Amino acid sequence: MTAPARSNPWVVLGTLLVIYIFNFADRYLLTGLIGPIKQEFDLGDGMIGLLMGPAFVVLYIAMGVPFARLADRGSRVRVIAGGCVMWSLATAATGLATGPVSLALARVGVGVGEAAFVAPAYSLLADYFRPERRGIAFGILGLATYVGQIAGQAGGPAIAAELGWRSAFFAIGLPGVALGGLALLLVREPPREGGAAQAAEPPIALTRLAGLLARSRSFVLMAIGFGLGALSGVAFGYWGPELFARSFALDPVTIKTAFAVNFGLAGLAGMLCFGALSDRLARRGPAWPVRLSALAIGAATAMVMLAVWAPSFEAAMWIAIPCGLLGGGWTVGIFATLQYLLPPGFRASATALFIAFTTLLGYFIGPWAAGAISQSLGDDGQSLRLALSVVVPVGFAAALAAFLAARRVEQDRQTLEQAG
């Protein structure tokens, strides 16, 4: 029987990149519109932190593993397309919110939809790109982080300034519905790495999989490193624009646009550079990409702290360049090593468990903790600076965990292959 035709790998990557851009734009849109939303609904930083973190994350985590299990057994493309439609409609529904409860429900919907993307997408790309080319592929996909951030944090306030904050959610949310259909047209489900025999095997029980992963020291350390790194970076990424708007008493639209563009463009360059460098280092050994990530996380954390305490907005924007370059691509090395570590038979499911844990640390705790600390200290610019000074330094612990993970990658890969 003839194998089904495969899509062009670069078409697949381009399609997933555009979808992922809207994924992050929808996620960051709320952070760019904190001011008008707080004013309309009379909310404090603590409640905004809950909307940015827990309201989004709870079902994102809960649904990520079921979606990934579905992707391991069936069509990853259909899972991605359905999730795209779901989170896009939920983003548009945010523009219809009448108070904190409906805002929170809309954010929950965004989280449910977005849970269907990351694990199936990385699993799909792992079957379209050879291991020595996955770094650049994952780096290009990771560009969505910064393009989406620019679209959400800069594009959202610009639309809101002309048409109101509700229109921003409609304008950025609704195009994603069409993108879901486009994915079904352009991307074919490829044969899975490992062939027909691998595909015919029954899926591993989730409890057994969790046990295997918990005993894999490199998996656990990469999860801790990624989660703490995300906690540090997401807290600053979500609250940084608001910090500068409050601290320097400048126009919020100007501040947030400049923040998104300066950090975002530097992050784009960093993501591409780290993707290419990760591929080069992978030829020396599978653990080298995660070592690269460890160095980048530590250096980026130090630069973020300098930005938090910058004496002027101009100084912060100069610091944004090395900060974005270093922080832009640290995730690439971890994801490249992770996909090497995991056997194809449960790659999406294991990636989903990885994302569930890291999202709990990064997206649940990070934004909420920064907002809660800020509100307890005064709910102003100085309180937010102090809050970020507490949260951001956990990035140093993330760097240590990622560095330690590199020691066991090859040994743990063999163990997982034999057990799986």
* Per-residue model confidence as pLDDT tens digits over 332-386: 889 888 988 988 778 778 888 898 888 888 888 888 889 899 989 988 889 999 9
Contact between 54 and 368 (Cβ < 8 Å): yes
Cβ-based neighbour number of residue 200 at 10 Å:
7
On the question of pLDDT at 194 being above 70, the answer is no
The residue with tokens 């330094």 is 393
CB atoms within 10 A of CB 2: 4
Is 9-419 a CATH 3.40.50.720 domain? no
Burial 219-233 (b: 16+ CB within 10 A, else e): bbbbbbbbbbbbbbb
Neighbours of 105 (CB within 10 A): 14
Average pLDDT, rounded, for the chain: 86
pLDDT at site 177: 92
- The answer to whether the beta carbons of residues 338 and 351 sit under 8 Å apart is yes
> Is pLDDT at 195 greater than 60 in this prediction?
no
CB atoms within 10 A of CB 253: 17
Interval 189-209 mean pLDDT: 65
Say whether pLDDT at 273 is over 60.
Answer: yes
**Interatomic CA distance for residues 353 and 197, integer angstroms:** 24
Q: Given this model, what pLDDT does residue 378 score?
A: 87
Helix (H, G, I), strand (E, B), or coil: what is residue 117? coil
3-state class of 129 per DSSP?
coil
- pLDDT-based confidence at 196, cuts 50/70/90? very low
pLDDT of res. 238: 82
Predicted confidence at residue 20, as pLDDT, reads: 94
Look up the pTM and report it. Answer: 0.72
CA distances from 18 to 176, 192, 263, 266 (A): 9, 23, 20, 19
